[in-house]
Structure 1
Amino acid sequence: MLETILAMTVGTCRVELHLPGNNSLKGKRRVIKGLKDRIRGRFNVSVAEVDRLDEWQRATLGIVCVSNNSRLVDETLTKVVNLIETHPDALMLDYEIDLMAH
């Protein structure tokens, strides 16, 4: 019996955002929901708000991409970061991309 060895790459991206024009949690949720929907609609990734949930003008997003192609994972997460950078209501403060091969 032959065993197939599957190569899998899991890429994670943590993005720190500042929402300068925001003055309520309701406004923050509107901006973040729109951004998450846009990311999900354009890329085959999972995205969630993972930190700073009760701060009006700050947000941390976690994005995950899984594939058997590490180059594809890196390129996809880089494109997600580029998309976030163009959002008019969110200023990216920092981001970090990590790839893990399994």
Structure 2
Amino acid sequence: MNIGVLKIYLRLPENTSLKGKRQVIKSIIARVRDRYNVSIAEVGDQELWQLATLGVSCVSNSSPHLNEVLSKIVDFVAHSRFDVELLDYEIEILPGP
């Protein structure tokens, strides 16, 4: 069993309030969760209205499969119509016992 962990660093250039940020982030979280069946949450920059950090995790027997799924999530967020700018991302695959 392997665990895939993804951190996505986003900038919301059009955003002007925490309320607006929450709407955008909730939409991203819901669509990623529904489309890829992964765990996802906002894990950083919660008090900053133009920055967000999302954490994603999933489990699989195959490391290449984890890398593929997490890479697809990065592409989905980066090329979607969420009005966000992808600043950076980190993918880590943790091998199981």
TM-score category by the smaller chain? Answer: over 0.9
* Residue of 19, 26, 37 corresponding to 1:44: 37
User: Which of the residues 75, 80, 92 maps onto 1:98?
Assistant: 92
Give the number of aligned pairs: 95
Identity of aligned residues (%): 47
TM-score using structure 1 length: 0.90
Report what 1:5 is aligned to. none
1:64 maps to: 57
Aligned partners of 1:15 and 1:63: how far apart in 2?
8
The unaligned stretches of length 5 or more in structure 2 are none
Query: Structure 1: how far apart are the matches of 2:23 and 2:57?
Result: 22
Instruction: Tell me the residue number matched to 1:76.
Output: 69
Bigger Rg, structure 1 or 2: 1
Asked whether 1:32 is paired with 2:32, we answer: no
Which sections of structure 1, spanning at least 5 residues, go unmatched?
1-7
